[in-house]
Structure 1
Amino acid sequence: MKILVLKGSPHKNGSSNLLADEFIKGAKENNHQIEEFDVAHANIKPCLGCDHCGMNGPCIQKDDMASLKEKILESDMLVFVTPLYYFGMSAQLKLVIDRFYSFNGRLTSKPIKSVLIAAAWNQADDTMDDLLTHYRTICNYLDFDNQGEILGLGCGTVSMTRNTVYLKQAYQLGKKI
C-alpha cells in the first residue's frame, strides 16, 4: 500500500512527528511504501475560494500543492499528523485540507484510507474532542476509510511523549495497517 504521511507540525523534531515516526516504523515492517511530506514547511497558500478550479480542475495558485495533489491522488492512505493547537489541527495542515477543494471530486471517487496522529500538552479526557470530530467529519465527507487515531494526551514535549503509551500505540497501528 502507498501511504502518504502529511506532517503538519512546525516542530520538525516535535511530539507529533515522533508519534508519526513510530507509525511509519510499524508500517514499513509490513512492507508498505511510505512517503512523508512536510506540509508545515512547504509553500502552500490558503484556498482563495475563487472557484477557478470548479472543485475538479487546476488551482489558480502556483505553489507546492500541485505536486502534493499528485502524491495524494497516487496514495492509498493519508496519515494526518498534527500538534493540537487551540483544540484543532495546525494551521499548516488545515491549509492543505482546505486546498482539497480543487480536486474534491477525484478524492471522493477514489478509495482512500486515513489515520489521524495528534499530540497535545493537555491530559484532560475531552482535549481532543473537537479535533476528532473535525477529522471524522472530513473522513465522512470525502469517503475516507478511517483506520484509526492516535490521540497523544500529555505529549507537550518529546521527553513527555517518550514516557507515554502513545509511541507504542502509534507503532502498533502502523504495524496492523
Structure 2
Amino acid sequence: MNALAFSSSPRSNANSKALLHSFACGLQAAGGSLETVDAQGCTLKPCRGCLRCNLIKRCAIRDDGWPEFSARILDADVLVFAAPIYFHHVPGPLKMILDRFRSFMQVRITEQGLLHTPWQEWRKHFVLLLTMGAPSDEDARPVVELFEYMTGVLGPSNRLSVVAATKLALSGQITMDAAQLRHAYGKLGLDPDRAEEDCARNQGYLKRAYELGNSVVKR
C-alpha cells in the first residue's frame, strides 16, 4: 500500500501538517509507505484550458514535470490532501494541482450535461485532512463537495474519507495542551473555560487521523 500526500499549508507549524503526521504514523505502523509533496513549493504550471487532453489522452504541458508527477499520482493506492481552509476553500497551490487532474479524463458536453470518461480505471482511496478556524465544519463543505464530485467522475471504485478539524486559528493549535489553549483563547477573545474540552477534541482529531492512516492499509 503506497500513499501520496499533498501538504498545502504555507505555515511551518500548520495544524493540517500535524493531522498529516498522525495519518502517516498510523499508515506506517500498519506497513504502508507515504511520500509527501509540498504544494507550496511545487513548480507545476496551471492548467491553461487548451482541452488538448481530450484528444491526446494526457496533459499537453510537458515542460514542468507533470509527466513524472502524474505517474506518481496514478501509481498511488491512496491520495491524501492536507489543507487549511482559507476563505472557504483550499490554498491556491493545491487547487492548481487539482485543476491538472482534468487531463486524467475526457470531458464531453452533451445536452444532458458533462460526460466524464477516465482514461484508465481508478481504484483509489482519497483522504481529506482539513483544518479551519470556523467552529463548524460547514466552512469546509465546498471542498468536500468538490472531492465527492471528483472521486465520483474518476470512477465508482474510488472512496473518500474526511477528517475536518474546526476552531483552529493559530499555528500548532491542534497540538496545544489545555494550559496553552487557555492562554491562546484569551488572545483570540474565546472562552478560556472551553480550553480543556477543546483540547480533548483536538486530540480526538489527531487520533482519528492516525486510525484512518492505519485502516487504509488494512482494508
Q: TM-score, normalised by structure 1?
A: 0.90
Q: Does 1:119 align with 2:159?
A: no
Q: Aligned residues: percent identity?
A: 26
- Counterpart of 1:48 in structure 2 is 48
Shift of residue 52 of structure 1? 2.6
Judge conservation of contact 1:9–1:92 (CA < 8 Å) in 2: no
Give, in whole Å, the separation in 1 of the partners of 2:13 and 2:63. 28
Select which of 130, 150, 157 maps to 1:138.
150
* More contact order relative to length (CA 8 Å, sep ≥ 6): 1
Task: From 150, 153, 165, give the equivalent of 2:166.
Answer: 153
Measured at CA, do residues 30 and 147 of structure 1 come closer, stay the same or move farther in structure 2, by a change above 3 Å?
Answer: farther
1:147 is displaced (CA, Å) by: 4.1
Extract unaligned runs of 5+ from structure 1.
Answer: none
Structure 2 gaps, min length 5? 106-117, 176-198
Q: Is the 8 A contact 2:137 2:165 kept in 1?
A: no
Over residues 1-59 of structure 1, what are the superposed CA-to-partner deviations in whole Å (9 max), with x where a residue is unaligned? 11111112222431111111110110000101211111221102210011233261242
Once residues 36 and 159 of structure 1 are traced to their aligned partners in structure 2, the CA distance between those partners, rounded to angstroms, is 19
Look up the SS of the partner of 2:79 in the other structure: strand
User: How do 1:83-94 and structure 2 match up within 5 A?
Assistant: 83-94=84-95
Residue number in structure 1 paired with 2:101: 100
Aligned length: 176
Task: Give distance in 2, aligned partners of 1:9 and 1:80.
Answer: 11
Pick the structure with greater CA Rg.
2
1:82 aligns with 2:92: no
The equivalences for 1:12-27 within 5 A come to 12-27=12-27
**Greater fraction of residues in helix:** 2
| Aligned-partner residue type, residue 149 of structure 1 | V
